[in-house]
Amino acid sequence: MLVPSRSRGRVRPYWLALLALGCSASEPTADVEAAPLSEVGKPVPDQSMSVTSEGTDAPRVAEAKAPVEPKQLQRPIPETDPAPIVIKEPDPIEYRISKQMLTIYAAPEVTAPVRGRIPIFEGFEVFAYVEGKGCDGKGWADIGSGGYACLEQSRPGKKAKAQMLPEDRDRGLPFFYAKVPTGQTAYKWKSEADYRAGKDPVETLEAGHDYAFKYRKRSGSELMLIDDKGRVVPQSMMHKYQPSRFAGQDLVAAPVPEGQIMAWAVTWPETPVFAGPKRTETPAATIGYQDVIYIDAEPAAPDWYRLADGSGYVPDSVIGRFVPPSPLEGAGPQEVWIDVELDEQVLTVMHGETAVFATLISSGHKGPTPKGIFRIHHKQAIGEMRSNPGDDDPYAVEGVPFVQYFVGGYALHTAYWHNRFGRPISHGCVNLSPADAKYVFEQTGPQLRPGWVEAYEHEARLGTSLRVRRGNRPIEDKRKPVEHLYLGG
């Protein structure tokens, strides 16, 4: 769940000026030893996971706390068809650049529902100039996707182009992420010149805080992390996160062979393959962590599967199986919707009744992930996680990309701080690897246009349906009429 946080004083960078987010009231940001696999997900033998504190692919844990969606003023809205409406926009007539965070409205008046936001100094498209209310000077513009902005706090950008946010700086992520190592101290200097001159630092960095840096550069023999104000931190003082490189499977390009089931090995550092369907057998081979395997469709013995190539057997407890989801009632033949299956920790992107993409997730362990059929109603290209004031275990996590709220404060989002996809470890949100979070974000509504940093659904452009289930157990359809956010009127 998510905690709202507004910037104070000057306008902060867009990733700090947005609503903050998080998924639990007690999830730490510091790395902790992973719980034995017997404590999460499927039952496993008496073997605990070996977890290292360094390395790109080692599972790491550092999540955040219970969020609360920003308070929304609700007005009664009639029920509408859940299928999103796709409308092709004409070519823009102008590009402009925002001079402050701009609010996007669903109509050209400040009393209209909020459709989204554009961050400061960002380029955006203009498709038409329109009449409206409550905007002085340059007036209103149609900026696409049913959104309107007052142009008063923007300027022409003759050479500007609008780009999809966030930018890619580090393995598909918009920032370089780092934290203060446990038991150590780190400092920030006003500039690299001040650091080289031996001047006093301007800030002592907080423990339990994950920092997002805009740039990283080599200076002599040192690597420097640089924030949006040009302030520097020697990387040697920090632990830099190595985001997961895990990515899901394109089921159109690589369909699952008939009569087989695709699965992932989810035991770190490798999954044993047995000569027979029992643990008394000596492991005959191993499978790499998060590697894709194919198994027979039917179990060889209770909770055991034979590898499709006949090379051995694996217990169900050490794999995450992709089982094609049943259809979503009412979904159109080409409608994009998302299925999340909690037992196997698998997310599937569906086109009607066809699965086109599947991947591993990490759902709630210390707090449950809500089950039901929802709509993605609010998306952020980037946000931050922050604990409530006075929490016993305070934390702050900057720059979390590709956030998609589906009920209350629960969201799909990137987790750059761990690589335990395939095991439930969050406090309720659905964690995705950086590559998978970006892909899923691009498939779903409400769509963000170039230059937009967040978007809310509205009646003409409803969010994508999301089904969260555990096996085939009955779930409730919890999709509701659109609940708008209003700033005025």
- Which CATH number do you get for residue 59? 2.40.440.10
Contact 455, 98 (CB under 8 A): no
Q: 18 CB contacts (<8 Å, ≥6 apart)?
A: 117, 380, 382, 383, 384, 453, 454
Residue matched to tokens 């080599």 = 218
Residues 350 and 383 in one domain: yes
Q: Give the Cβ contact number of residue 8 at 10 Å.
A: 6
Q: pLDDT-derived band of residue 243, with 50, 70 and 90 as boundaries?
A: very high
Share above pLDDT 90 across residues of the chain, in percent, rounded to a whole number: 71
Q: pLDDT-derived band of residue 426, with 50, 70 and 90 as boundaries?
A: confident
Paired with 264 in beta bridges are 292, 320
Residues 187 and 149 in one domain: no
pLDDT for the residue numbered 89 = 66
Q: Of the residues 240, 267, 292, which one is the last residue of a structural domain?
A: 240
428: amino acid identity, one letter = G
Domain-embedded: residue 293: no
Q: Is the pLDDT of residue 412 over 60?
A: yes
Question: HSE on the CB side for 126, CA within 13 Å?
Answer: 24
Domain-embedded: residue 181: yes
Higher pLDDT, 61 or 433: 433
Structural domain for 98, as ranges = 94-156
Threshold 0.75, pTM exceeds: yes
pLDDT for the residue numbered 488 = 66
Using CA atoms, how far apart are residues 360 and 22, in angstroms rounded to an integer?
20
Using CA atoms, how far apart are residues 369 and 344, in angstroms rounded to an integer?
14
Residue pLDDT, tens place only, 288-330: 999 999 999 999 999 999 999 999 999 999 999 999 999 999 9
pLDDT for the residue numbered 71 = 34
Rg of the chain on CA atoms, in Å: 24
Residues 125 and 235 in one domain: no
Domain-embedded: residue 285: no
Residues 334 and 445 in one domain: yes
Query: 50-59 contacts: CB < 8 A, separation 24 or more?
Result: 50/268, 50/269, 51/268, 55/242, 56/242, 56/244, 56/245, 57/244, 57/245, 57/289, 57/290, 57/419, 58/268, 58/269, 58/419, 59/34, 59/268, 59/418, 59/419, 59/420, 59/423
pLDDT for the residue numbered 393 = 57
pLDDT for the residue numbered 366 = 72
Question: How many distinct structural domains can be found in the chain?
Answer: 3
What integer is the mean pLDDT of 124-135?
95
Domain-embedded: residue 441: yes
Q: pLDDT-derived band of residue 447, with 50, 70 and 90 as boundaries?
A: very high
Residues 341 and 456 in one domain: yes
Domain-embedded: residue 265: no
| CATH number where 195 lies | 2.30.30
Q: pLDDT-derived band of residue 395, with 50, 70 and 90 as boundaries?
A: low
pLDDT for the residue numbered 158 = 80
Eight-state DSSP code of residue 345: T
Using CA atoms, how far apart are residues 461 and 124, in angstroms rounded to an integer?
20
pLDDT for the residue numbered 6 = 33
pLDDT for the residue numbered 169 = 85
Residues 408 and 335 in one domain: yes
pLDDT for the residue numbered 83 = 42
153-157, 184-188, 277-281, 422-426: the lowest-pLDDT one: 277-281
* Burial (CB count within 10 angstroms: exposed 0-12, middle 13-18, buried 19+), residue 193: exposed
Residues 66 and 130 in one domain: no
Residues 341 and 386 in one domain: yes
Domain-embedded: residue 261: no
Residues 98 and 66 in one domain: no
Domain-embedded: residue 58: yes
Residues 24 and 58 in one domain: yes
Residue pLDDT, tens place only, 34-90: 333 333 344 333 333 333 333 344 454 444 333 333 333 333 333 333 344 445 668
Residues 355 and 442 in one domain: yes
Contact 432, 419 (CB under 8 A): no
Residues 184 and 217 in one domain: yes
Using CA atoms, how far apart are residues 456 and 50, in angstroms rounded to an integer?
42
Domain-embedded: residue 117: yes
